[in-house]
Amino acid sequence: MERCLYRAEWMEEVEFSDFFREPTVSQSVAEAMERLQVDHLSLFACGPQLYIYYECLGEPVLPGSLLTTGGERLSMWPGVERGRRWAPMMDIFHYQHPVSLRHWQRKNDSGEPYGRIALLKPEMVASYVYYHYQYQEEKPGDGDKYGIIGLHENVLFFYAEQPTTLEPAPYEGKLSTSLRPERWAEVMEPHFIKWKDAPAGQEIWRKLELVLGASFRLEKEGKRCVIRYV
């Protein structure tokens, strides 16, 4: 299994939330997910910025293979792959990683995805990654089982699910030290560029709008892809 996080930028005048609500678009997403063995897809937005999370149960899949329409409405991202519309975000922190499909199976069908973004000071990126790797490998399973942070440039994308799933990780971390700072929030605060005119409580981590969510559920008549909108 591979957990995927990407970001993109919508450049069309057409409102993206209206575009993704089109029945033909949502149907094509559901069909692509089933064909390519992808589950728990969540598309978030902040202004024109789009952030996507999904899980590949088989071979790795690119976002363009799932969102097959609307790609021309996304800006180009420079990089190794020419003409790419989605920029991959590196997994720099997770509370747990999947060890099997059974371990990763959701026990609560009513769980809802949520996402947040933050900006790191460029000179503090290495420090942030260092502390989070230390935390991840010293205390696996210390937070939401599905919580993960992706990094691209100096942008952080945090994906998690509500209600929080707390359970022990079925593996040991790679570090036997106990160096994670006790005053975690106090140590983290200097790493961030704060958002201007942010709502109260979102000065560092800005909440994202869930545009589209899709996951498969087993029902009496078989497996069905459920599309959610907010």
Determine contact, residues 96/141, Cβ cutoff 8 Å: yes
pLDDT in tens, 168-215: 999 999 999 999 999 999 999 999 999 998 899 999 999 999 988 888
pLDDT digits (tens, 9 = 90+) for 118-175: 999 999 999 999 999 999 999 999 999 999 999 999 999 999 999 999 999 999 999 9
* Local confidence band at 230 (pLDDT 50, 70, 90 cut-offs): very low
The answer, yes or no, to whether residue 228 has pLDDT greater than 80, is no
CATH code of the domain made up of 2-228: 3.30.70
**pLDDT at residue 203 in the model:** 96
Q: Average the pLDDT over 87-102 and give the result.
A: 96
Mean pLDDT, rounded, for 6-12? 89
Q: Does residue 95 surpass a pLDDT of 90?
A: yes
pTM of the predicted protein model: 0.92
What distance in Å separates the CA atoms of residue 217 and residue 182, rounded to the nearest whole number? 40
Those residues with Cβ within 8 angstroms of residue 82's Cβ, 6 or more apart along the chain or in another chain: none
Give per-residue pLDDT as tens, 104-118: 999 887 789 999 999
CA atoms within 13 A on the CB side of 215: 19
Instruction: Evaluate whether 87 touches 7 at the Cβ level (below 8 Å).
Output: yes
pLDDT at position 223 over 70: no
Q: Is pLDDT at 79 greater than 80 in this prediction?
A: no
Collect all residues with Cβ–Cβ distance below 8 Å to 27 and sequence separation of at least 6.
none
Dihedral sign from CA coordinates of 115, 118, 104, 67: positive
Nearest to 213 by CA among 99, 45, 49: 45
